[in-house]
């Protein structure tokens, strides 16, 4: 039996990486998938792929830093599907730098996407979830929400905020049938990671990939599908007694380093 039968799932950043893995898996488990992304070409390809596999999907270009645009898109999704059962706040950006090397502009840019963008999506989806009697939310936080690694000043700040928002929403909307949890992934092998290594370590790609992989106790990076499986669990009825939780999916990073 599918684990998300007839559910409508909004997935931000669902056109690539972890978001795409979540969209694929949720569709296979019976959900109608609504992808929000800024990359039109990638999100259209994702929709085509899901439909070709027999799933139901739509995509809308949406800049999540624009609160009015997010409200409009969520309203269209609700009008199209009749309800929003699931929100996966996956869209985000990263930055490398410490408190002295991170510019004001870069710091603000990361917070606009990772914090304000997530908050915009939460507000827009919660209005419908409250009116319709419940829902499940998963926010993509990070192991750096609760631990330190070098040169992630802006990114760690943003992911700490995402985890705090998770707790707040879980508390405030508990009695309205809304569960809100977060995932705390470690390093996951995505196209973003490949691009990051290529940009910051030219000519040292294989060396740096191996080095970054070995910082995690399991000695490898996670796969997007492994994060998607955890998101599926938290959004399914199997997790009906779980809310306000930050679930590590990190190869032992938080506890075994």
- In which order are the strands placed within the sheet that holds 135-140? 56-61, 32-37, 8-12, 86-89, 135-140, 178-185, 246-249
How many Cβ atoms are within 10 Å of 129's Cβ, its own excluded?
A: 24
Question: Are the beta carbons of 58 and 36 closer than 8 angstroms?
Answer: no
CA angle, 124 as apex, 47 and 33 as ends, to 5°?
20
Q: Which position among 35, 155, 185, 190 bears the catalytic label?
A: 155
Query: Considering only CA atoms, which of 247, 207, 230 is closest in space to residue 26?
Result: 230
Residue 155 catalytic?
A: yes
Catalytic residues: 155
């Amino acid at each position: 039996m599918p684990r998300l039968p007839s559910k409508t799932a909004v997935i931000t950043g669902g056109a690539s990486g972890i978001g795409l893995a979540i969209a694929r898996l949720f569709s296979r488990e019976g959900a109608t998938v609504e992808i929000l992304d800024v990359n039109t070409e990638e999100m259209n390809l994702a929709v085509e792929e899901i439909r070709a596999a027999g799933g139901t999907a739509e995509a809308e270009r949406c800049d999540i830093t624009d609160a009015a645009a997010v409200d409009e898109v969520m309203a269209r999704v609700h009008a199209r599907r009749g309800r929003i059962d699931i929100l996966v706040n996956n869209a985000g950006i990263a930055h490398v730098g410490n408190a002295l090397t991170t510019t004001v502009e870069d710091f603000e840019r990361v917070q606009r996407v990772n914090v304000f963008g997530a908050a915009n999506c939460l507000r827009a989806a919660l209005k419908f979830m409250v009116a319709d009697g419940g829902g499940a939310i998963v926010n993509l936080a990070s192991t750096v929400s609760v631990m330190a690694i070098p040169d992630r000043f802006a990114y760690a700040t943003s992911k700490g905020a995402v985890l705090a928002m998770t707790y707040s929403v879980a508390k405030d909307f508990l009695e309205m049938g809304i569960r809100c949890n977060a995932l705390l992934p470690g390093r996951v092998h995505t196209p973003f990671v490949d691009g990051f290594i290529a940009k910051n370590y030219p000519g040292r790609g294989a060396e740096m990939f191996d080095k970054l992989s070995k910082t995690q106790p399991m000695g490898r990076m996670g796969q997007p599908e492994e994060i998607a499986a955890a998101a599926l669990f938290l959004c399914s009825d199997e997790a009906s007694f779980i809310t306000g939780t930050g679930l590590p999916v990190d190869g032992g990073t938080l506890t075994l380093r």
